[in-house]
Amino acid sequence: MRLSEVKLVVISLTIFLAIAAIAFVAVQQFPAHLAQPPTVLPTGDYVALIKIEGTIAYSTSQLTLLGSVSDPESIAALLKRAVDDPAAKAIVLCIDSPGGSAAASEDLYLKVKDAASKKPVVAYIREYGTSGAYMIALPAKAIIASNSSMVGSVGVYLSVLTYSELLEKLGIKVYVIKSGELKDIGSPYRKLTQQEAEMLEEMVLDYFELFKQRVLNHRSLKNPDEVFTGRPFTAKQALRIGLVDGVGSLDDAVRLARQLGGLPPDAPVRELKPPRPSLFQILLGETSAKKPMVPSIEVLAVWPPPFLEP
């Protein structure tokens, strides 16, 4: 081997080792909430705690641009771990979410419903349990809300953003070749027609009817008409109207889960977390959410009431 080839090999090896060292440090400093591998199950009977925080959306959704998300696929994997582990006698869902997309909320609702048919599930609303997040809590045996939480906002809305007037002012024209009159419905390059607005409203009402029926199937409401206006409620208001079963703390929710699971009062609580990424996943960049091309409209985004600050 010639000297230049030896140098090239040495340089390549040095670069590889440097990357490996950086990745190793990154693994050590990776957020602690991602530290538990899925294959490690706790010993002894316990209450499984699963947190659902942020917007409910798939990792490929445009809603990821609005901050952290709870991906139904990740939460479903944690629910499966809890259901499959015979030592996990009950599950507590700690919810702090304003809602999210229709499909993601629907997906997670069905996963929670399936888990609740196999083991006792208690939902605890920490700050937000509104819209799609409230739908997720519905199959639980009981819903406990924090005294300062916001609950409900049962409803659906759809947003279409257009900037056709801005483009006109800038002298920009967009030509769209389409196979049918409604193929580009919701296009940001033009205004909605009356026909399109009516069609989108029908879609929203269909989704709302599904949401409404689920609430009625799971809850006994004292004033359904008030609930289905889409308004949010404080915890005490939600208790009065029948949206939740109690107002309390996470400890209260855990205490109830222990009772439902037949556990002693001192049974431990184990939080189930996503697996820690491997070194090769970090090297290959698989730990970051992929952002492929997605439709310009989220069919359903049920967003929260205004942020409250004491």
141 part of the active site? no
- The rounded distance, in Å, linking the Cα atoms of 242 and 216 is 11
Q: What is the full DSSP assignment across 61-92?
A: SGGGGGS-EE-HHHHHHHHHHHHH-TTEEEEE
Catalytic residue among 118, 178, 183, 191: 183
Distance of alpha carbon 192 from its chain centroid, rounded? Answer: 30
State how beta strands 88-97 and 69-70 pair. Answer: unpaired
> Can you tell me the distance from the alpha carbon of 237 to that of 150, in angstroms, rounded to the nearest whole number?
10
* Closest to 298 in 3D by CA, of 160, 195, 152: 160
Name residue 51's beta-bridge partners.
94
Identified catalytic residue from 131, 146, 149, 153: 131
Give 176's contacts (C-beta < 8 A, 6+ positions apart): 184, 187, 189
H-helix or E-strand containing 97?
strand 88-97
- 3-class secondary-structure state, position 292: coil
Report DSSP letters for 138-206, one per residue.
Answer: TTSSEEEE-TT-EEE-----------HHHHHHTT-------SSTTTTTT-TTSPPPHHHHHHHHHHHHH
State yes or no: is 59 an active-site residue: no
Residues 6 or more apart in contact with residue 270 via CB below 8 angstroms: 42, 46, 47, 48, 49, 88
Q: Which residues pair with 121 in a beta bridge?
A: 91
The residues annotated as belonging to the active site are 131, 183
